[in-house]
Amino acid sequence: MDQTDVGLKSVVKALIDTVAPAIDPSDHLAKEQLRLAASYVDFVRQRLLLLHSRERYDLQHYRALAEQFLGFGLPLASEAVAALHSALAVAGPLASDPAAPTGRIRAAATDLAHAVATVVQAAHSQWNEPDLARRIDEAVLAATEDKFEMELLWYQPIGFDPSPRKDKTLDDFLK
Protein backbone atom coordinates (compact mmCIF):
# COMPACT_ATOMS: atom_id res chain seq x y z
CA MET A 1 0.00 0.00 0.00
CA ASP A 2 1.23 3.50 -0.76
CA GLN A 3 2.50 5.44 2.28
CA THR A 4 3.14 8.83 0.69
CA ASP A 5 0.98 10.53 3.34
CA VAL A 6 3.34 9.23 6.02
CA GLY A 7 6.27 10.48 3.98
CA LEU A 8 4.78 13.96 3.75
CA LYS A 9 4.10 14.02 7.47
CA SER A 10 7.77 13.15 8.04
CA VAL A 11 8.85 15.98 5.73
CA VAL A 12 6.81 18.49 7.76
CA LYS A 13 8.28 17.16 11.02
CA ALA A 14 11.83 17.42 9.67
CA LEU A 15 11.28 20.97 8.47
CA ILE A 16 9.78 22.15 11.74
CA ASP A 17 11.87 20.18 14.25
CA THR A 18 15.27 20.12 12.56
CA VAL A 19 15.56 22.67 9.78
CA ALA A 20 13.74 25.61 11.38
CA PRO A 21 16.05 25.93 14.42
CA ALA A 22 19.07 25.90 12.11
CA ILE A 23 17.97 28.96 10.13
CA ASP A 24 19.76 32.26 10.68
CA PRO A 25 17.38 34.10 13.07
CA SER A 26 17.94 37.36 11.19
CA ASP A 27 16.82 35.82 7.88
CA HIS A 28 13.12 36.60 8.25
CA LEU A 29 12.33 35.69 4.65
CA ALA A 30 13.81 32.21 5.06
CA LYS A 31 11.90 31.67 8.31
CA GLU A 32 8.65 32.75 6.67
CA GLN A 33 9.21 30.56 3.61
CA LEU A 34 9.97 27.51 5.71
CA ARG A 35 6.75 27.96 7.61
CA LEU A 36 4.79 28.36 4.37
CA ALA A 37 6.51 25.38 2.76
CA ALA A 38 5.81 23.11 5.72
CA SER A 39 2.22 24.28 5.82
CA TYR A 40 1.73 23.57 2.11
CA VAL A 41 3.21 20.09 2.37
CA ASP A 42 0.79 19.39 5.21
CA PHE A 43 -2.08 20.71 3.07
CA VAL A 44 -1.10 18.30 0.27
CA ARG A 45 -0.96 15.46 2.82
CA GLN A 46 -4.53 16.22 3.85
CA ARG A 47 -5.72 16.26 0.24
CA LEU A 48 -3.61 13.44 -1.14
CA LEU A 49 -6.28 10.76 -1.14
CA LEU A 50 -8.83 13.14 -2.68
CA LEU A 51 -6.81 14.33 -5.67
CA HIS A 52 -8.33 11.84 -8.11
CA SER A 53 -11.86 12.62 -6.95
CA ARG A 54 -11.15 16.33 -7.33
CA GLU A 55 -10.13 15.88 -10.99
CA ARG A 56 -13.27 13.85 -11.59
CA TYR A 57 -15.38 16.57 -9.98
CA ASP A 58 -13.91 19.17 -12.37
CA LEU A 59 -14.55 16.96 -15.38
CA GLN A 60 -18.15 16.36 -14.32
CA HIS A 61 -18.62 20.06 -13.61
CA TYR A 62 -17.64 21.07 -17.14
CA ARG A 63 -19.52 18.14 -18.71
CA ALA A 64 -22.73 19.22 -17.02
CA LEU A 65 -22.22 22.82 -18.09
CA ALA A 66 -21.43 21.83 -21.69
CA GLU A 67 -24.50 19.64 -21.92
CA GLN A 68 -26.64 22.40 -20.48
CA PHE A 69 -25.31 24.76 -23.19
CA LEU A 70 -26.16 22.27 -25.92
CA GLY A 71 -29.69 22.09 -24.56
CA PHE A 72 -30.05 25.83 -25.26
CA GLY A 73 -29.77 25.24 -29.01
CA LEU A 74 -26.36 26.66 -29.93
CA PRO A 75 -25.66 27.74 -33.56
CA LEU A 76 -24.76 24.55 -35.41
CA ALA A 77 -22.28 26.13 -37.81
CA SER A 78 -20.12 27.63 -35.10
CA GLU A 79 -16.50 26.53 -34.73
CA ALA A 80 -16.81 27.00 -30.96
CA VAL A 81 -19.77 24.60 -30.83
CA ALA A 82 -17.91 22.01 -32.91
CA ALA A 83 -15.01 22.23 -30.44
CA LEU A 84 -17.44 21.77 -27.56
CA HIS A 85 -18.81 18.59 -29.15
CA SER A 86 -15.26 17.28 -29.69
CA ALA A 87 -14.23 17.94 -26.09
CA LEU A 88 -17.41 16.31 -24.80
CA ALA A 89 -16.82 13.24 -26.98
CA VAL A 90 -13.49 12.72 -25.19
CA ALA A 91 -14.78 13.59 -21.73
CA GLY A 92 -17.86 11.32 -21.75
CA PRO A 93 -16.11 7.93 -21.96
CA LEU A 94 -13.48 9.02 -19.45
CA ALA A 95 -16.11 10.11 -16.95
CA SER A 96 -17.80 6.71 -17.12
CA ASP A 97 -14.54 4.73 -16.98
CA PRO A 98 -13.65 3.99 -13.35
CA ALA A 99 -10.14 3.00 -14.42
CA ALA A 100 -9.38 6.25 -16.26
CA PRO A 101 -6.01 7.63 -15.13
CA THR A 102 -5.97 10.91 -13.21
CA GLY A 103 -3.76 12.63 -15.78
CA ARG A 104 -6.15 11.91 -18.66
CA ILE A 105 -9.13 13.10 -16.63
CA ARG A 106 -7.31 16.32 -15.83
CA ALA A 107 -6.35 16.89 -19.48
CA ALA A 108 -9.92 16.27 -20.63
CA ALA A 109 -11.30 18.67 -18.00
CA THR A 110 -8.82 21.36 -19.10
CA ASP A 111 -9.85 20.93 -22.74
CA LEU A 112 -13.54 20.95 -21.87
CA ALA A 113 -13.19 24.08 -19.71
CA HIS A 114 -11.46 25.74 -22.67
CA ALA A 115 -14.29 24.74 -25.00
CA VAL A 116 -16.93 25.96 -22.54
CA ALA A 117 -15.14 29.31 -22.11
CA THR A 118 -14.88 29.67 -25.88
CA VAL A 119 -18.64 29.18 -26.22
CA VAL A 120 -19.24 31.94 -23.62
CA GLN A 121 -16.93 34.25 -25.59
CA ALA A 122 -18.66 33.41 -28.86
CA ALA A 123 -22.09 34.04 -27.34
CA HIS A 124 -21.02 37.59 -26.53
CA SER A 125 -18.87 38.42 -29.53
CA GLN A 126 -20.19 36.45 -32.52
CA TRP A 127 -23.73 35.19 -32.30
CA ASN A 128 -25.79 38.30 -31.67
CA GLU A 129 -28.46 36.40 -29.73
CA PRO A 130 -28.86 38.29 -26.43
CA ASP A 131 -31.31 35.82 -24.94
CA LEU A 132 -28.98 32.90 -25.62
CA ALA A 133 -26.05 34.83 -24.13
CA ARG A 134 -28.10 35.54 -21.03
CA ARG A 135 -29.07 31.88 -20.57
CA ILE A 136 -25.45 30.83 -21.00
CA ASP A 137 -24.27 33.42 -18.47
CA GLU A 138 -26.88 32.36 -15.92
CA ALA A 139 -25.89 28.71 -16.32
CA VAL A 140 -22.23 29.61 -15.74
CA LEU A 141 -23.04 31.62 -12.61
CA ALA A 142 -25.13 28.83 -11.10
CA ALA A 143 -22.63 26.08 -11.87
CA THR A 144 -19.61 28.11 -10.76
CA GLU A 145 -21.20 28.90 -7.44
CA ASP A 146 -21.34 25.19 -6.68
CA LYS A 147 -17.75 24.69 -7.81
CA PHE A 148 -16.55 27.49 -5.57
CA GLU A 149 -18.38 25.97 -2.59
CA MET A 150 -16.36 22.81 -3.19
CA GLU A 151 -13.11 24.78 -3.58
CA LEU A 152 -13.71 26.72 -0.37
CA LEU A 153 -13.78 23.41 1.46
CA TRP A 154 -10.81 22.15 -0.55
CA TYR A 155 -8.63 25.06 0.54
CA GLN A 156 -10.00 25.21 4.08
CA PRO A 157 -6.77 23.93 5.68
CA ILE A 158 -4.95 26.96 4.23
CA GLY A 159 -7.34 29.19 6.13
CA PHE A 160 -8.47 31.97 3.79
CA ASP A 161 -12.19 31.48 4.42
CA PRO A 162 -13.14 33.43 7.58
CA SER A 163 -16.39 31.52 8.05
CA PRO A 164 -16.14 28.02 6.60
CA ARG A 165 -19.41 26.19 6.16
CA LYS A 166 -20.26 23.44 8.61
CA ASP A 167 -23.27 21.89 6.89
CA LYS A 168 -21.34 20.22 4.04
CA THR A 169 -18.06 18.38 3.70
CA LEU A 170 -15.75 17.84 0.77
CA ASP A 171 -17.07 14.30 0.51
CA ASP A 172 -20.53 15.68 -0.20
CA PHE A 173 -19.15 17.35 -3.32
CA LEU A 174 -16.61 14.76 -4.42
CA LYS A 175 -18.63 11.57 -3.97
The residue ranges that bind another protein (CB under 8 A) are 26-33, 36-37, 39-40, 65, 79-80, 83, 110-111, 113-114, 116-118, 120-121, 124, 133-134, 136-138, 140-141, 144-145, 147-149, 151-152, 154-155, 158, 160-163
Cα Rg of the chain, angstroms: 21
Q: How far is the CB of 138 from another protein (least distance, A)?
A: 6
Nearer to another protein, 79 or 171 (CB): 79
Q: How far is CA 77 from CA 27, 31, 86, 135, in A?
A: 61, 58, 14, 19
Q: Nearest approach, Cβ of 171 to another protein (angstroms)?
A: 18
Task: Identify whether the C-beta of residue 118 lies closer than 8 Å to the C-beta of residue 74.
Answer: no
- Which of 9/114 has CB closer to another protein? 114
Triad 29, 30, 36: Cα angle to 5°: 90
Q: How many Cβ atoms are within 10 Å of 132's Cβ, its own excluded?
A: 16
CB 141 to another protein: min, Å: 5
